[in-house]
Structure 1
Amino acid sequence: MQTIKHFFKTHPHAWWGFYLPVYLAMFFIIEHFITDNYWATQTPLDDAIPFCEWFIFPYVSWSPLLVVLGIYLILKDGEGFRRYMWFIMVTFTTAVVFCILVPNGQDLRPAVMEHHNLATWLVEYTYSIDTNTNVFPSVHVLGVMAALAAVWHTPGLQKPAWRWGVTLYGLVIIAATVFVKQHAAIDVLSGIFTSCIAYIFVYLIVGRRRDRRLAVRKGA
């Protein structure tokens, strides 16, 4: 217990991480109640996107990416972690509120798998634990964009290999959402749009004001 208290005393920014269980609670509640009578987000564009089960591997690597990056920021860049979490809080909460106000879902999942392999098994398992509702905007996209913003603003990750590597990896995860039919194309586009607004607010408006205040404190 003393070790935990000491950790939070020396890493007070880590408290922002407790938003995640709050978000998960909200998400599971709307997953339980929003099951039908929803706005279907698929468009003719989605018919041109083939189903490819192999994209399930980058799709499920989304959570590890966010967690590993979060742990790194907690330990190495407290201010970066704050802004990372602010971005997540703004976008994820926006997604939950929108899904409550405008229940939505997509009807793109294949009824039967044409192949049977590890990838299709993982797709079917993912379908079994994650409903086809509450998809607009895509939280997967919001999370990836939060990670990319954090990486590009973290001094310790300024090497091109890190920044461009994570960026390309993030783009693959975003593409995976439509190839495994977890999201429609407009879910992805709305996620990108929401993320752009959040980036302006968190990093360009609030972030720059905070940078000026921190600079004044250091100079005092």
Structure 2
Amino acid sequence: MALRDTLHRFPWGELKYVLWLPVYLLSFLMMERVVVTGYWPTQTWLDSHIPFCEWFVIPYCLWYPLLVAVGLWLLRKDRAGFRRYMRFLALTFFLSEVIWLLVPNGQDLRPAVMPRDNPFTRLAASLYAIDTNTNVFPSVHVVGAIGAAWAVRKTPSLRDRPLLQQAVSLLACLICLSTLLIKQHTVLDVASGIGLALAVGLPLYSQHRLRRFRPAFGRD
């Protein structure tokens, strides 16, 4: 009986909203092997003034559990919010791939030799080995971090937890900053990531807000 109740309560209808993820990951891996040379370098003179700081590899890596944790929380507490969150990620991630296809890009900022030897520089070097320096404009790390913070801000069950909302927003800011400080992205990559997140998120969440207040307008 307990198993039957659990299966009945499971949000089966929301599973279709994550079907885009394996498609995105597969296409991302393919694109990582297509663009190797001949790309548009996105670094500018501003990036040369940003120091390498290996400590920021920690918030950079926290991006992955952040996106998963927000998704699981929304799936349990706010299914409408989960669907908006998945739409935001799917739209922004696939639009990023379209941009990469149309404008092959990369950056040449990674240090050839790490300035120090410690666990954080070794972790950064491991990231370099796994993730290429191409397909960086816009930064999906920036887009995803903003999307997670936005979703938490818009979750009704978390309105009475402002400290948690602020903590997630702070982590999102640190993640965006980390992309610059471990030389994974450039200023242009971050700016374009913010622009893409706003271009998709503003109409997506504004539409949700208008739907909430439409009945009130109709009574006037």
Residue 139 of structure 1 corresponds to which residue in structure 2?
Answer: 140
Tell me if structure 2 keeps the 8 A contact 1:39–1:104.
yes
What's the counterpart of residue 198 of structure 1?
200
TM-score by length of 2: 0.91
Question: In the alignment, is the contact (CA less than 8 A) between 2:89 and 2:147 conserved in 1?
Answer: yes
- Distance (Å, rounded) in 1 between the aligned partners of 2:81 and 2:72: 11
> For each residue in 1:38-74, what CA deviation from the matched residue of structure 2 results, as whole angstroms up to 9, or x when unmatched?
0000000001100011110110110100001101111
1:172 aligns with 2:174: yes
State the alpha-carbon separation in 2 of the partners of residues 73 and 10 from structure 1.
Answer: 11
RMSD: 2.0
Give aligned pairs, total: 212
Query: Residues 83-122 of structure 1: matches in 2 within 5 Å?
Result: 83-122=84-123
Moved over 3 A (4+): 5-11, 208-213
8 Å CA contact 1:19–1:89 kept in 2: the answer is yes
The equivalent of 1:43 in structure 2 is 44
User: 1:9 Cα deviation (Å)?
Assistant: 6.0
* Matched letter for residue 172 of structure 1: L
Question: TM-score, normalising length from structure 1?
Answer: 0.91
Amino acid at match of 1:27: F
Distance 1:175 1:7 in 2: 42
1:6 positional shift? 3.4
User: Alpha-carbon deviation of 1:13?
Assistant: 1.7
Identity of aligned residues (%): 45
Q: Measure, in 2, the Cα distance between the counterparts of 1:106 and 1:160.
A: 37
Structure 1 equivalent of residue 165 of structure 2: 163
Quick check: 2:11–2:75 contact (8 Å CA) kept in 1? no
Corresponding residue for 2:190?
188
Is 1:22 aligned to residue 23 of structure 2?
yes
Structure 1 unaligned segments of length 5 or more: list them: none
